Chains A and B, each alone.
Chain A
Amino acid sequence: MTVTPSDPWYACLPDCEASVPCGPGTHSVRWEAGSLVLPEHPDAEAELVLAALGGEKARCVEVAEAWHRHTDDLSVLAIGPRGPADEIGIGWDDVAAAQPGAGGGFVFTGSYAAAAQAAVRPAAGLNPSVPAAVQRRRRRAQEELELVRRRRTDMLSLLALGYGFQVRLAGTVAAAHADAASEVVEGRARPALVAAVAGRLGPVAEQWLGIDPDQVVVSLHPGPGWGSVELTGRGEQRRLLVALPVMWLARVWAAGLALVDRHLVVAVERAGWPDARVLGLRAPGAEPEQIDVHDGGVGGGHAPHWEV
């Protein structure tokens, strides 16, 4: 069975909204049709120009910038949720506590810490008596420290948006790397994508078949079609061999469609929300069946709850 979707990967996802502390109040941030929207900041670009001239940057704008910086960042898949039960309880208080200058936020550990702290200490002390190579090293360390700081704030902010945004960002990242599954692409992304699929499919397979997630062996399906699912061996040697395209993460898993009516959903045949048609497997090795599904709305839009 060949599935060649022409609709966007997010077509099964409803709009999603979160509240963000911004200035003295709280603003809404929305995800609509694959994009992040700031209803309270209609001219975000102008605000960015003002911020560049020394004005204060709105938190909502910072969040949107962070979103765009990480739309192809594979770390999002390594850090983000593996499923609805994998709760990541980051709130805006955590984000505030992590800001520079907030008490208790900045603690350095590990090998990087020494270099980073060394960079901070002499920042005001760059002078002609310090060898140029040392100054260059310090500058490099400072730049790296800034990157780490920004990355930290980015990650916390994106996680603080909640589960709905977390899975939508994961879907965005997966879609951005969908070509990496191709055999002809010498992508460094493949190991991260295999792990991303395995980390999310494992718990689903456990629910589906009662198999230990460590016994699920994942590969990326490179060609046309939905892939393959096969069960081999017995006892400890039992393995569920699964080959799925990277887009499964975006189109199926991110939309909350991975397991519907005791079927492992391997593809979306007709995308849409709140109604869609998917291909599901009743058992490994079986032919996929067409299943019409409907979002019952229990998830409040953030995490669809699909029913037959």
Chain B
Amino acid sequence: MNRERAETFLRLLAESVLRAASEGAFVSGAPWSADSPNPGFPRLARVAQALAAVHALDPAAAQDVLADFAVAIGVRQHSDPGPLLMTRPAFTRGRLYARASSGSPDSGPGAAGPATGGPGEAGAGAGGPGEAGVGAGRRERFVPLGVTVPFRLEDVSGEVNLLSYAHTSSCARFTFTWRTRSPGGQGLLGRHFGSPGLPRLFTVSDDRGDAYQLDFGFTDWSGQIRLRPDPPDGLRWLELSAPGQKPVRIRLGEPGPEGPDGAGPQVTPTDLSAGEQLLTVFADRLLMAAGEHGPDLRRTSYARAPLHAMTAGLGDVVAALEAAEVLPAHSQVPGRLAALCASMSVTGHGLTAPPGPEMPERWLSLLSHYQRRKPEVAPARDGYAPLAVALPEFDGMRLALLGLHNTDGQTLLHLVVSGLPEDDGTGPPIIETLPVSVWVRDSGGRWHVAGVDMAQFSDGEHWLRMKLRPGLARSTPWIEVLVAGRSAEICAVLPLDWGYPA
């Protein structure tokens, strides 16, 4: 990695953009409009984002370059430059590029920490269903549940479906979905969930007679319930009760599901550069966005407009990553990205690599789905599948899958991730920066891309909800989850034991 060349690239780009802007104003003879931001700014901001994401550029240095550029533009506008001089451009806003995985910024792909365990098996104590080691601390515990707890609140009745129990190094949580049987139920409960009165709706106690307070965190129809205080290790069961209902016992001793052949997650070492990983995750986001428009993508430029916006300046980003020596000159990823853009009729990205070689199978699968003549048939009906699988550690991160459900025509996957940089509220949200690819292949061989939909940060852990595109059919008997980082691809084949709301 060459930080000096990275910053030099950004500054030279700023010079070029400023020169072009000055010449444009000079030719037209008109003062620059103070009302419209200079179009060169987003171009610069994207390169700054990408370089900061791969740790080739300190965010403060990137901010300085952009601030100077904004002022340089402002004082040449022949209008009041005061506002611009008070501006600290928010270059992290609308971030398109995921932050590289943790570890030494100078380290190669492997140095960020390859997956625990060799190829073909989950690392001992650090992967697979049931339990996972967390160093010298407590062993994490992940238990699939599939337990339904009915409830009634005022005149609204419904049920909570517990998908999993996760006891991590920081806390214990249920992942759940919920439904009401009354049309106005969500609105009513939306007012109550999280309110001081809600914990009184449910009570929970353990096999030792200790009671817990429940903190609900959710949006729409799914989320997490955190137990306070933190339960002790070794619990056999918890009992959840709702008024007027029989207590429901939740057994915590069952191991998580294994693959159809009893195998745990499979680990394949990889060796992606930080730049290749950034571009690969960007391609995922592009495919995710493309799914919004489906078959219209090839027919109307209107449908492609968001993709054009996302890919604008991609050529600059690739050049910047090469200059920063985080993208090998012989890398095939830029060519694949160019092929992906071409297959979606997206132009204006500035990529100079010729399209090709062949795109990954999962990209082709998704493109083929998007380009079908007929739009998606009726969305899958609601259902939920318990999951609780800890994946082997890789790239300094630990991921665990906590549940899957189809709700309102969308398929949502819950995960917990630890080892990512802390979210102090000042940087870009994890929704925009998760540095891994997550894909799901269904039992019919069709691939589904996952994108972060909701995120909550707590005690060093990111609790994520990812949306799958396209959604899964409710009857899918098993899936293969692929999580790809810089140093490893982890593949877990998981049977799905679907449950359905009453």
Is B85 touching A202 in the complex (CB atoms < 8 A)? no
Mask: chain B, 57-95; 1 = CB below 8 Å from A; 0 = not: 000010011001101100110101111011111101100
Partner of A203, one of B4, B19, B61, B88: B19
Q: Does A271 contact B (CB under 8 A)?
A: no
Is B15 touching A198 in the complex (CB atoms < 8 A)? yes
Q: Does A51 contact B (CB under 8 A)?
A: no
Is A97 touching B82 in the complex (CB atoms < 8 A)? yes
Q: How many A-B pairs fall under 8 Å by CB?
A: 109
Chain B residues, CB < 8 A from A213: 16, 19
Is A190 touching B14 in the complex (CB atoms < 8 A)? no
Once A79-B68, A112-B87 are accepted as A-B contacts, the answer to whether A107 and B14 lie under 8 Å apart by CB is no
The contact size tier of chain B is 35 or more
Complex Cα distance, B86 from A149, in Å, reads 7
Is A109 touching B83 in the complex (CB atoms < 8 A)? yes
- Interface 9-residue window, one of A57-65, A81-89, A121-129: A81-89
Once A78-B68, A111-B93, A191-B7 are accepted as A-B contacts, the answer to whether A86 and B75 lie under 8 Å apart by CB is no
Is A89 touching B88 in the complex (CB atoms < 8 A)? no
Is A191 touching B78 in the complex (CB atoms < 8 A)? no
Q: Does A192 contact B (CB under 8 A)?
A: yes
Is B22 touching A98 in the complex (CB atoms < 8 A)? no
| CB proximity of A272 to chain B, nearest CB, Å | 31
Is A110 touching B87 in the complex (CB atoms < 8 A)? yes
| CB proximity of B439 to chain A, nearest CB, Å | 32
Once A110-B89, A194-B8 are accepted as A-B contacts, the answer to whether A156 and B14 lie under 8 Å apart by CB is no
Chain B binding surface SS class: helix
Chain A residues, CB < 8 A from B15: 195, 198-199, 202
Chain B residues, CB < 8 A from A151: 85
Complex Cα distance, B24 from A165, in Å, reads 26
Complex Cα distance, B8 from A192, in Å, reads 7
| CB proximity of A106 to chain B, nearest CB, Å | 6
Mask: chain B, 14-50; 1 = CB below 8 Å from A; 0 = not: 1110110010001000000000000000000000000
Is A107 touching B82 in the complex (CB atoms < 8 A)? yes
Partner of A152, one of B65, B82, B90: B82
Q: Does B11 contact A (CB under 8 A)?
A: yes
Q: Does B377 contact A (CB under 8 A)?
A: no
Once A155-B71, A155-B85 are accepted as A-B contacts, the answer to whether A192 and B11 lie under 8 Å apart by CB is yes
Q: Does B136 contact A (CB under 8 A)?
A: no
Binding site for A on B (CB under 8 A): 4, 7-8, 10-12, 14-16, 18-19, 22, 26, 61, 64-65, 68-69, 71-72, 75-76, 78, 80-83, 85-90, 92-93
* Given A75-B71, A78-B71, A97-B82, 4 extra CB contacts under 8 A: A78-B68, A98-B80, A104-B82, A110-B88
